[in-house]
């Protein structure tokens, strides 16, 4: 079973028919009956014939949506219909594709749906699932993070249980008060543990922005609590324990923390920064060989896994060096029967709480660094490739937003006179506006709310949907200006990516 969204038109003009008649309706009025179009190629031919002036990109996009509507959506699948009122309708698909020429309103492409619920409040959906519904496409699948099973729960009258990879118990901690009560209820022998992602979710945030970190840290400190390790370290999937740090000594004349035997990092090290531990691979113990094992074993493992090096650990998981193809070659040049000890070279290791930026030169030079935890045991390995992924992920949102702004500037400068551009900024700033390049995303929104300006662009799209997407993009851009060590997810990027895709389709030759 899969979950789909089929929107009810640019201005919600198909909502009433969808709910009253038990259907979802696709647009594309010029496309003829697709009942005989059983393949994507056949759907594509119909779309190209109906819209011969459209770009290749647009035709491909529309083909994909109509192919899903005609061929991929199956009877029994879940259907989600976000309504302009803010609520959401959820139901099950009851029929195959139909072409109804006599349907009032003139929308002939039809799939029958039995609506289980017509007014599900947005609060019943977790933020990641709501974000997934933010696409500007008319027909698309909700496929990430167990969406189908979660939507099914809502269709049955329940609420969104959250991501399937999230801790079930953590999902019940919906507000700080519940978390505090749970910590108070437990003993230090059975502390509350949850992922950093779930901890942030208790405060209704998804990334470790400085303001969020400060609020969570203050709230914990106010109640005498601490996370071990600090929740500012590690990736979002790293696990922390929430422990009482301020309770008075017990009969043993020691604190709860001392009796628990858990190593606590001093609070001042919890400042938000790019820590070594923020990379996933810094928290994933690498494969290794033990001191005393054979060089043959190390070489075999390196070939099997495609590794350039392997850490050599003692029985306490502490680093004793690294064996690499280079160190093996040097050792065998001196003695053809050299063993692991002779081929083991020195290696540098970073503490997981170190500033990642301080270690970039070493990673560039050597290609890697080992990572140790607070007990000096090896807990991860970071390569140059890991840095490429980490910082490539952070650069992508800025490149995406820059292209959106460039396309807006070009379109506005080409279509709207400078005096009308200046008219939407405060008078004291008007003289400093020489072109659309001087506008922010927020000002573009004000500019295009003016009907005369919007008409000048000549865009055959829904203005309100575009302005809503532009506002969401503005908020996303502002959030990027607040530092967080956590990567931007595809779900968080999707609204901005959708806006860019739309703008590319409006000017496909640029």
Q: Please list, in sequence order, all residues whose beta carbon lies within 8 angstroms of the beta carbon of residue 34, skipping any fewer than 6 positions away.
A: 42, 43, 46, 66, 70, 97, 99, 109
**Domain-embedded: residue 162:** no
pLDDT of residue 168: 58
Q: Is residue 7 located within the same domain as residue 149?
A: yes
pLDDT at 220: 85
| Per-residue confidence (pLDDT) for residue 273, from 0 to 100 | 65
Does residue 481 share a domain with residue 418?
A: yes
**Is 364 inside a domain boundary?**
yes
Q: Is residue 55 part of a domain?
A: yes
**Residues 366, 327 contacting (CB under 8 angstroms):** no
pLDDT for the residue numbered 483: 72
Q: At what angle do helices 384-415 and 441-449 cross, to 10 degrees?
A: 30
Same-domain check for residues 402 and 367: no
Instruction: Please identify, among 376, 396, 418, the residue that sits at the C-terminal boundary of a domain.
Output: 376
The neighbouring-strand residues paired with 112 are: 23
Same structural domain, 123 and 214:
no
C-alpha to C-alpha distances, 294 to 146, 321, 336, 346, nearest whole angstrom: 45, 15, 14, 18
Same domain for 244 and 290, yes or no, is no
- Indicate if the pLDDT at residue 254 is higher than 60: no
Residue 10 sits in the same domain as residue 151? yes
Grade residue 265 by pLDDT with cuts at 50, 70 and 90: low
CA neighbor of 115 nearest in space, from 134, 133, 88: 88
- Residue corresponding to tokens 């017509």: 118
What is the count of structural domains for the chain? 4
| pLDDT tens digit sequence for 78-124 | 999 988 888 889 999 999 999 988 877 778 899 999 999 888 887 78
Q: Given 376, 411, 431, which residue is the final one in a domain?
A: 376
Rounding to the nearest 10 degrees, give the CA dihedral for residues 467, 468, 470, 471: 120
Cα–Cα distance for residue pair 204/70, rounded to 1 Å: 38
Dihedral over alpha carbons 396, 401, 406, 409 (to 10 degrees)? 180
Same structural domain for residues 24 and 137?
Answer: yes
Q: Are residues 37 and 77 in the same domain?
A: yes
Per the domain annotation, does 354 fall within a domain? yes
Quick one: 53 and 194 in the same domain?
no
As a whole number of angstroms, the distance between CA 180 and CA 476 comes to 31
Nearest-angstrom CA–CA distance, 444 and 27: 28
- The last residue of one of the domains, among 222, 250, 272, is 272
Q: Is residue 164 part of a domain?
A: no
Residues 268 and 284 in one domain: no
Co-location of 10 and 146 in the same domain:
yes
Rounded Cα distance, 374 and 231, in Å: 14
Residues 6+ apart with CB under 8 A from 262: 188, 191, 228, 241, 243
CB-based contacts of 287, cutoff 8 Å, min separation 6: 301, 305, 307, 310
Identify the top-confidence range among 256-260, 341-345, 391-395: 341-345
Q: What is the pLDDT of residue 492?
A: 80
Q: Give the mean pLDDT of 461-466.
A: 92
| Helical segments of 98-242, H only | 127-132, 147-155, 176-185, 196-202, 210-222
Average pLDDT over residues 63-74: 91
> Has residue 177 been placed in a domain?
yes
- Full residue range of the structural domain in which residue 291 is found: 280-376
Residue 76 pLDDT exceeds 60: yes
Q: Which residue has the tokens 């700033």?
A: 429
Same domain? 97 vs 222: no
3-state DSSP call for residue 258?
helix
Residue 67 belongs to a domain with what CATH number?
3.10.590
Q: Which of 256, 267, 231, 242 is nearest to 179 (CA)?
A: 242
Three-class SS state of 191: coil
Which residue, 467, 282, 298, 304, is CA-closest to 383? Answer: 282
**160 within domain boundaries:** no
Mean pLDDT, rounded, for 127-153? 79
pLDDT at 251: 57
């Amino acid at each position: 079973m899969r979950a789909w969204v089929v929107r009810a038109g640019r201005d919600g003009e198909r909502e009433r028919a969808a709910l009253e008649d038990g259907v979802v309706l696709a647009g594309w009025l010029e496309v003829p009956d697709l009942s005989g179009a059983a393949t994507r190629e056949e759907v594509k031919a119909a779309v190209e014939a109906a819209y011969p002036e459209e770009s290749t990109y647009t035709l491909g996009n529309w083909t994909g949506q109509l192919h899903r509507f005609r061929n991929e959506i199956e009877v029994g699948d879940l259907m989600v219909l976000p309504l302009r009122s803010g609520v959401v309708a959820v139901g099950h698909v009851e029929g195959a594709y139909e072409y109804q020429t006599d349907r009032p309103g003139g929308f002939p492409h039809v799939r029958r749906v039995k609506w289980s619920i017509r007014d599900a409040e947005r609060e019943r959906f977790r933020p990641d699932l709501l974000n997934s519904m933010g696409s500007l496409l008319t027909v698309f699948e909700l496929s990430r993070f167990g969406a189908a099973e979660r939507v099914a729960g809502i269709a049955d009258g329940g609420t969104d249980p959250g991501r399937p990879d999230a801790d079930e118990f953590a999902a019940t901690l919906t507000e700080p008060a519940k978390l505090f009560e749970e910590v108070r209820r437990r003993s230090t022998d059975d502390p509350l543990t949850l992922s950093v992602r779930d901890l942030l979710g208790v405060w209704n945030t998804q990334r470790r922005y400085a303001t969020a970190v400060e609020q969570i840290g203050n709230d914990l400190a106010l109640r005498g609590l601490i996370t071990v390790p600090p929740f500012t370290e590690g990736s979002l999937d790293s696990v922390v324990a929430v422990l009482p740090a301020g309770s008075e000594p017990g009969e043993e004349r020691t604190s709860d923390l001392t009796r628990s035997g858990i190593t606590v990092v001093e609070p001042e090290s919890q400042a938000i920064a790019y820590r070594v531990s923020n990379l996933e691979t810094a928290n994933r113990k690498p494969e290794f060989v033990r001191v005393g094992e054979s060089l043959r074993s190390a070489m075999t493992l390196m070939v099997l896994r495609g590794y350039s090096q392997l850490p050599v650990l003692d029985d306490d998981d502490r680093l004793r060096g690294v064996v690499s193809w280079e160190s093996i070659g040097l050792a065998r040049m001196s003695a053809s029967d050299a063993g692991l000890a002779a081929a083991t070279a020195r290696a540098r290791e970073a503490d997981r709480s170190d500033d990642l930026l301080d270690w970039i030169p070493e990673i560039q030079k050597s290609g890697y660094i080992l990572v140790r935890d607070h007990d000096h045991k090896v807990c991860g390995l970071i390569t140059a490739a890991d840095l490429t992924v980490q910082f490539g992920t952070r650069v992508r949102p800025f490149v995406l937003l820059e292209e959106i702004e460039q396309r807006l500037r070009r379109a506005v400068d080409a279509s709207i006179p400078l005096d009308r551009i200046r008219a939407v900024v405060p008078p004291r700033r008007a003289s400093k506006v020489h072109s659309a390049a001087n506008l922010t995303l927020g000002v573009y929104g004000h500019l295009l709310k003016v009907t005369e300006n919007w008409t000048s662009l000549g865009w055959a799209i829904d203005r309100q949907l575009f302005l809503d997407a532009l506002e969401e993009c503005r908020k996303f851009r502002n959030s990027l200006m607040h530092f967080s060590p956590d990567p931007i997810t595809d779900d968080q990027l999707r609204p901005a990516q959708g806006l860019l895709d739309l703008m590319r389709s409006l000017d496909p030759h640029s």
